[in-house]
Structure formats: C-alpha cells, structure tokens
Structure 1
C-alpha cells in the first residue's frame, strides 16, 4: 500500500469520526480537513465516495459487521469505523478484497491500533466471502433509516411512499444544472437531458468545474426541485424581489436571470461570499446584504419575496447522506419555530398584491404544509395562489390537493428522481 493510499484512508476515517461522533456536516468536515489538499484529485474523489457510501449504507454495514464478528458486541469506535470503511469497499464499491483488507489492517497499525489487526483481518475476510450475499437479503432502505425518520414519513405519507423515499436514498442523485439561457443548446455540450421544467440532467461524477461552460458562466448546479420556486413568480422583469436566506445563491441567480431587481439576504457574511463568487462567474448582479431577515428593515416593500427557509434538509439525503446521521427530532422542532418567525416577517415585506413563495428542502410536514396552514389561520392578509401543472412542465404529481408543490424522493423515477421539496405560493390581498 502506498503512502497516498494510506493517507486517503486516514482522511476517510477522520471524516467518519467527525460526522458520526461530533455531528459535523460532511461537507464542512471535508472542506476543513487539513490533509485533503495533499491528496491527488482521484484520491480526494475516492475519499468522498467512500465516506458517503458508509453514511448512506450505515445500517446495512453495521448489520454485516455484526454478522461476521466471532463474538457478539462491537469493538471500540475507531476499530468499528475501520471495519465500516472496509465493508463499504468490499460490498458496495467493488474494491478488490486484498486491497480493502490490507489497507484496513495497515490503517490500524498506523493509528496505534495494532492489537486489533487480527480482528480486522478476520472480520473483513469473512465480509469479503459472505458480505454481498448477506446484503442481498437485507431490507436496505429500512435498515439505513433512523427509526424516527421512518415513522415520521410513514405517518405523513403512508407506507408505500415512505418505502419509496428510503429506497431512493440508496442511490446517489444525478447532477442537475440550470442554464442561464437556452438549455437545449447546452444539453448537447454537457451530454445532458433537458427535463420538462428546463433543468439539465446528466450523470453524477467528475469535476463540475471542468465541464464546458463553467468558467464562462453558462449554468450553475441546482437540483430540479430547488429550481422550481423561482419559476413560480411569473413575469419578474423590472420587479423588486427580496431573496431571504439566499446562500448559496442558485435561486438568486434564477431571479436575476428572469429580469428581477434582487436584494439577496443571508445572516452569514461568509456564505454570502459564495453568492458573490457565483454571481460574478455568471455575470449577474444583485444587491447582497448580510443581515438577519427576521429583523431587517428595507426602505420599501417588495413586489415579490422568496423565503427558502433554513431547514433539516431531509429532502436532500440523496445528495447529503450525513443528514441521516446528524439530524434529530429536536432539530426539527427548533427549525420549525424559526421558520414560523421568518415566514411571519416575510409576509410583512410583501406589498399588497405582491407574491410570497415559501419553500424548504425538507420532507417533514412540520417544516412545510403545517407552516402554511398555521400562517393562513392566524393572518388573513395572505391567500393561497395554487400552482398549476403547466407551470411545472406538466409534472402534476408534484402538486398536492391545496395547490402546493410537494416532491418526495421516489417520485419521477422514470426521469432519474427528484429531491424532497415543499413550495407554497401565496398572494397578499390588495
């Protein structure tokens, strides 16, 4: 095993520890790791795929490890994580058995865990012999989903849709792009398909920054579901629009490209730096304000307000499997309270006759449908403005009985799926 190979596995071990035992979001832990810069791009890509696979398949992996242990009970945390990394390679990433086992054993020695080399070798060799057959018999979707999430989705959507959600999470999402203009012409250059809503979709993998048109600012990365809210305002040319909680800026870019005069807010000045970078690359302009939207006082009201509220992001698990491991029911309750405050404030920022769109990338009803129900019950200044199928390229299954957009992982499987998202469009009464 080369020093580079050992270093990559070491980084993966650190990242797994940070996510599982420190509840650090995977992207944050990945970006902050001091040894990543020293790895080749191929090794960095392998680290990301390896850790994401463990997080996505953790329930299955732990059951397989338990089945292959000579005695019941799991070893100490660091050894357990080494076994998880080895099992993911053997069962789900098609790594040659000798490579996966040898690297795990050498990693134990390098991390002062030499007394456990025999255990790691024995367990992983058995996983290599029996793991794929055992995995084929597992209830993968259910095993990899925390009980509280499964129960919440089954209660909200029924068993069949909950099953569709957890099975969709087993697979990495495709790469979706929003073109600044003329998506059809970009489709050929990017080897992408144009979806009914105009989103470009291509297979995941590879470096986004090396794709045609990135440096020229012809498009930006944005999931199909995330692209829908900004499309629902109608004609925005010359209109004043507030984009609350704007980072990382995909929806800001959409609004500007549609001709709006956009004021984009975010509490984090650091996150707004990313919005600035994205807009500069795309040659688009907006006024950026680092402030708390809940207390911000503008000089005048807006024709339209977009509130993409901070949420649990349980709709984006296909792209961020660490959400399965770091979110808790307490997080949902806290976020729901913050969303309610932001939504009440957003209403006050819309001029009479103007439009408010509220959205979250969550599949928890507390963060979506329930927020709108409570708002309309306590404030008669707003009314629903139902979304029509034609506004979504004919994708009527994404619209619920109240005219809100409710997408779930498991929907649109014939097109490659979609993230979970909620969108409500409201109009302030004259």
Structure 2
C-alpha cells in the first residue's frame, strides 16, 4: 500500500488558515503540547524525565496542567519512551518519503499521537484530532497538518496488523544500551529487554507483618520481605496504611542493601547518599542510630518528610558524601552511590536516551572516589555496604574489583545464597548481590521482575 506523502506536504484543501490561539482552549490540547515539548527535551536535550515531571520544580508546560492532564502526560511519555523505536519505525513505514530532516517538532507530534493510538486507552479519533490541532497551532508544523491527519488515520486503521509486525523486527532500545546488556547478560539479555518494556509493579517495604499487608492490599509477599501489589487506580497516598506510616514504596531490589549488615541494633550507621530515604528508613527501623547525608537540600527535605510520616528519627546532614568528616568513624557505612540507573529503566524509560557509555565510565570513577572515602569512615570491625541501581558491571563488579586490588586490606564478606529463598540466583560466585529485571518470574509480566541492582559487603581483613 502506498505511503502518505511527506516531503512538501500541503494543508488539507478547503481548511481555513488557523491561528495558534484558536486551538488553545481545546480540551486535551495543552496536555498533548506539553507531552511533545517534554519528549523533545528528553530525546533531543537528554533532560531527565523525573526533573521535567517534578510537581514543584518541573517544566512549566507540565506544572501548569491540572491533575488529570498531568496523569495523561505522564502516561503518554512513559509509553512513548518505552516503545520509541517501534513508534518511529511505524511512523516511517507509513510515509512515501522520509520526514524532512528539520521536522523534529513534527516527529514529536506524531510520536505523542502514535503512543496514544498504539499503547494507551485513548480513542483513536481524539488522538488524531488533537494531533492535527497541535500541528495547526505550531507555525513549524502548520503546513504538515494534512500529513498528520492522513498518517494517523491510517495508523489507527492498520495498527492491529502494523504493530505486531514492526515490533517483532525492531529493537526496543538504543543500540548502545542493548549491546552492553547483551555483553553482560548473554543468557538473560532477551528476557531482560522484554521485561524492561513492561510497566513495573509497585513494591512496598512494610514495618511489620508483610503477610497481613499483602492480604489487605491484594498483593503477595516477595522473598525480600517486600509486598508487591498491582498499580493502584488512584494515588499511592490513598492506599490503606499510607497515612499511618505503615509502609513506604521501595522496589524489592532496592530493599536488599540495607539488609546486608550483620547487625544494626544500637549501632552507628552512616547513610552517605540517603535521599529519598527508603534505605535510611530500613536502617532506622532495624534499630540503628543513623546519620543520613545528602548534598541536595530539596532531596534532604523530602527525606525528612518521608521519615516524619513513618515516625522514624535520624540525624541528617546537608553535605556531599565525600566531604563527610567523622573522626571516630561509624560501625557501618551504606554507600548507595549515584549511577547511570540503568537497572531502573522499567520505571525510568528515559534513561537509555539520556545516558551514554561515556556517562557510565564517568560515573564509575565518581563511585570509586566515593568508595575510597567511605572506607575511611568505617571503624575497625565494621562493615561497608556499597550498592547502586546500575545493570552495568563497570559500575559494580569491575569497580569493586579495582578497589580491592588497590586496597588489599579489604575483602568481600560473601552473602549467604540461602538468605532470600527464591533469589539464590541473585548471589554471585564471589558472594555479591546482582539482581536484574528478568528475576522473579510471574505469568503476568506486570508482576514480574526486579530493578537491576548491585550490592556488596566489604570488611577489613
């Protein structure tokens, strides 16, 4: 079937010239415009999606929207980024000639509409109509409004045939990301990539009695002790137990590092990169006297708010981890270091588009500097737990191997593989913890998997 004409596209015959302000009040248009603008910021400027969608300090096009429109924008962006290469391949299959090189704004309009048509429960007619209005309202795209209309109408008609065929032959993520995964996880790479395109479940760390909370919230207890539930229809804050501080949201893999200390009751523990505070809460709940550090005042304020809701008290310090001075040291130090976050792509699908291999190398150097400093904060006989949410060995196994080679007075204290029945495969031959998204299989992919995490316990010889 012939494709839709793109180069030199003209406006639809008989349609009067629209002015940008004629469409401004059209319901739903502002949300689509915001989605296109934010998608451009991620894919063209490598902006963090979390930062753009921050309710307080995010992009003004997003923060100006009402609650329902914000939810829609978030859903559009998550779907678009999880399936961006498939969406692009589908769009390109429907045009006779490639879209003009300079038509980046046009591609964002088409991506936003295609994400709704292919992956969201939005009426096709609404997605098409609003995309045409969006093109009409932008001088850069106005001459392409006829193309937008024809292409998206055809996509809506043929999506049931197009999507399976194109998805089967199109990689989900950028080549660099898939290549590094395949190198590091040869046997599991395909399963990991498949799970990364699925929205994640919601994991909760509970203060006590996980079985009871699993029953109350319709979830299951995981080997980590976390409670996993399906995504709620409304806000998380509306779930039973939130206001009472009975639990907090934390991926099951993220709950592992704080569990690695031999003992916590009554000990002085430093949490060096503490915000938003999930691991800090675990340490305090276990009876440790915690000093929680973070270099961001906003993030530290968020940590304090979370701990207040949970009824937990810790000492906080606004400081960079590498600037923390403690002449007497600590019984234990937790360093959950800043990283590429490639293990969290299920919930942060912008990462393959905002990070690069060079970022991974740079961040591994940052982690090594932090680890060197953290080692100097541990008292004799104490423990140093290092962790991050990267899938890349350069930021985990390889970086720690370099540390041990340069510090022969330190060694790995192996984690017992029977510690979490059902997760034995997460323990490496050296006794490190390495989780990835294809672990914890479930017939429903939305209830399967873990974030990718690396963690290790280090002690002096």
The two structures share one fold, judged by TM-score above 0.5: yes
Q: Deviations over 1:72-91 (max 9, x none)?
A: 24560111001001111111
Do the aligned residues in 2 keep the contact of 1:141 with 1:170 (CA within 8 Å)?
no
Q: C-alpha displacement at 1:213, in angstroms?
A: 1.4
Unaligned runs of 5+ in 2: 1-22
Q: C-alpha displacement at 1:139, in angstroms?
A: 4.6
Q: C-alpha displacement at 1:132, in angstroms?
A: 3.1
Q: Deviations over 1:141-200 (max 9, x none)?
A: 962211111111111221x31111211111000011101222222222222211122101
Q: C-alpha displacement at 1:114, in angstroms?
A: 2.2
Correspondence for 2:185 among 157, 161, 171: 157
The residue number in structure 2 matching 1:408 is 436
Unaligned runs of 5+ in 1: none
Determine the C-alpha separation between the residues in 1 that align with 2:66 and 2:277.
29
The residue number in structure 2 matching 1:235 is 263
Question: Displaced runs of 4+ in structure 1, greater than 6 A?
Answer: none
Determine the C-alpha separation between the residues in 2 that align with 1:308 and 1:338.
12
The residue number in structure 2 matching 1:54 is 80
Determine the C-alpha separation between the residues in 2 that align with 1:420 and 1:74.
38
Moved more, 415-424 or 360-369: 415-424
Q: Describe the SS at the equivalent of 1:234.
A: coil
Q: C-alpha displacement at 1:20, in angstroms?
A: 1.3
Correspondence for 2:352 among 324, 347, 369: 324
Q: Deviations over 1:15-63 (max 9, x none)?
A: 1122112211111111213344554433221110111111110000000
TM-aligned CA distance change 1:123 to 1:338, over 3 Å? same
TM-aligned CA distance change 1:212 to 1:141, over 3 Å? farther
The residue number in structure 1 matching 2:8 is none
Determine the C-alpha separation between the residues in 2 that align with 1:332 and 1:197.
28
The residue number in structure 2 matching 1:193 is 220
Determine the C-alpha separation between the residues in 2 that align with 1:37 and 1:419.
28
Determine the C-alpha separation between the residues in 1 that align with 2:251 and 2:267.
25
The residue number in structure 2 matching 1:108 is 135
The residue number in structure 2 matching 1:426 is 458
* TM-score where L is the length of structure 1: 0.96
Residue 12 (str. 1) matches residue 39 (str. 2): no
Q: Describe the SS at the equivalent of 1:343.
A: helix
Determine which structure has the larger helix proportion and give its number.
Answer: 1
Determine the C-alpha separation between the residues in 1 that align with 2:324 and 2:399.
21
Determine the C-alpha separation between the residues in 1 that align with 2:171 and 2:429.
32
Correspondence for 2:60 among 26, 29, 34: 34
Q: C-alpha displacement at 1:387, in angstroms?
A: 0.9
Correspondence for 1:21 among 23, 44, 57: 44
Q: How does 1:3-402 map to 2 (within 5 A)?
A: 3-31=26-54, 32-74=58-100, 76-112=103-139, 113-139=141-167, 143-158=171-186, 160-205=187-232, 206-402=234-430
TM-aligned CA distance change 1:258 to 1:49, over 3 Å? same
Do the aligned residues in 2 keep the contact of 1:252 with 1:262 (CA within 8 Å)?
yes
* TM-score where L is the length of structure 2: 0.89
Moved more, 199-208 or 46-55: 199-208
C-alpha RMSD of matched pairs (Å): 1.7
Determine the C-alpha separation between the residues in 2 that align with 1:343 and 1:394.
30
